[in-house]
């Protein structure tokens, strides 16, 4: 079964829904497939306080429900389903949904996001939204004058630790190696920060706490003769070991950087294939915020509308 659409949006979240709002208002009759996580990563965030227009804050799920309703109000067809393969070598583009239905699209907006990398310990799931976070900029505000830990030893971890040190009373960096992988300038920054304590050669075994994270079980020099179990008291546990862009199905179809993020032609959202656009975290390894994703969703819809107009589609 094949369906033809003018504007196909793959993935939801702030980028996808914003693209849908703009595309629908431009009479592009967009069809949006929500993907594996309807609403995107934001639905795993308990409280969003840094998005303009919500002075009292709002849960990520409620906010994405608002975005979705607004997109549907203007005529977006929102469908459950996941893109499983694509063929961008032809016009119209071909996108297969759930290994069954083939969609032919004059334009495609990709907003499949990026997934934070986790350690894989069960407590990360147990305390999700209760002290475990993968975004210091999003959630750091909740840990003012508290003690937090950041896992990781690269630039991202150093940036997150530095950011959190402006809010928290103390920041531990849990680093499994005996050195930081970060650039020298970032290493110097955290080393000189009196609020940051780096725990080299430490691995996280688990977390503990009654109604949220109260501490972490660590092991120092794991597997060595002088291996030692260590507990630290913390209120928040931040993952900073990287993100994985959800771009596997686009490999070989679009140009990407070394980490797998789709490359776009700034300031547009143009990808390496004409008529295909990328918005949100799938093309952003730097900011990863709801508002920046929404902004690129807007730009992608405008880019798609201009393409359709120029080609009389």
- What is the SS3 assignment for 136-182? HHHHHHHHCCCEEEEECCCHHHHHHHHHHHCCCCEEEEEECCCCCCC
DSSP 94: E
Q: What is the pLDDT along the chain (313 residues), one digit of tens a residue?
A: 678 999 999 999 999 999 999 999 999 999 999 987 787 777 766 678 889 999 998 988 899 999 999 999 999 999 999 999 999 999 999 999 999 999 999 999 999 999 888 999 999 999 988 999 998 888 999 999 999 999 999 988 998 999 999 999 999 999 999 999 998 999 999 999 999 999 999 999 999 999 999 999 999 999 999 999 999 999 999 999 988 999 999 999 999 999 999 999 999 999 999 999 999 999 998 888 899 999 999 999 999 999 999 999 9
Tokens of 210: 């009654």
Tokens of 13: 């979240």
Cα(143)–Cα(122) distance, integer angstroms: 23
Residue 25: per-residue pLDDT: 97
What is the Cα Rg of the chain in Å?
Answer: 21
Residue 184: per-residue pLDDT: 94
Give kind and range of the element (H or E) at residue 230: strand 228-233
Residue 46: per-residue pLDDT: 65
Residue 45: per-residue pLDDT: 66
CA distances from 40 to 158, 207, 238, 244, 293 (A): 26, 26, 19, 14, 11
Query: What is the sign, positive or negative, of the torsion defined by CA atoms of 123, 129, 130, 134?
Result: positive
Classify strands 2-10 and 101-110 as parallel, antiparallel or unpaired. parallel
What are phi and psi for residue 97, nearest 5 degrees? -105, 125
Kindly list the catalytic residues: 135, 138-139
Cα(56)–Cα(189) distance, integer angstroms: 34
SS3 281: helix
Residue 295: per-residue pLDDT: 97
């Amino acid at each position: 079964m094949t369906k033809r659409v003018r504007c196909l949006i793959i993935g939801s979240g702030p980028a996808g829904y914003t693209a849908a709002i703009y595309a629908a208002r431009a009479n592009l009759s967009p069809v949006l497939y929500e993907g594996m996580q309807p609403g995107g990563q934001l639905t795993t965030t308990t409280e969003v306080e840094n998005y303009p227009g919500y002075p009292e804050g709002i849960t990520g799920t409620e906010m994405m429900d608002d975005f979705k309703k607004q997109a549907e109000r203007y005529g977006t067809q929102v469908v459950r389903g996941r893109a499983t393969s694509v063929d961008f070598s032809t016009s119209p583009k071909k996108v297969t949904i759930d290994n069954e239905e083939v969609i032919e699209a004059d334009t495609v907006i990709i907003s499949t996001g990026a997934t934070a990398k986790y350690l894989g310990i069960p407590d990360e799931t147990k305390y999700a939204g209760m002290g475990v976070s993968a975004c210091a900029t999003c959630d750091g505000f909740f840990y003012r004058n508290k003690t937090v830990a950041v896992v990781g030893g690269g630039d991202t971890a150093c940036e997150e630790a530095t950011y959190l040190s402006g809010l928290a009373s103390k920041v531990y960096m849990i680093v499994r190696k005996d050195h930081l992988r970060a650039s020298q300038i970032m290493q110097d920054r955290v080393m000189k920060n009196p609020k940051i304590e780096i725990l080299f050669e430490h691995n996280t075994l688990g977390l503990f706490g009654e109604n949220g994270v109260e501490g972490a079980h660590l092991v120092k020099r794991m597997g060595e003769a002088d291996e030692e179990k260590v507990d630290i008291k913390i209120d928040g546990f931040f993952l900073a070991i990287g993100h994985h862009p959800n771009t596997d199905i686009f490999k070989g179809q679009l140009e990407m950087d070394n980490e797998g993020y789709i490359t776009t032609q700034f300031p547009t959202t143009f990808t390496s294939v004409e008529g295909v656009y990328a918005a949100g975290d799938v093309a952003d390894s730097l900011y990863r915020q709801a508002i920046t994703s929404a902004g690129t969703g807007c730009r992608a819809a405008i880019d798609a509308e201009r393409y359709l107009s120029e080609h009389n589609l």
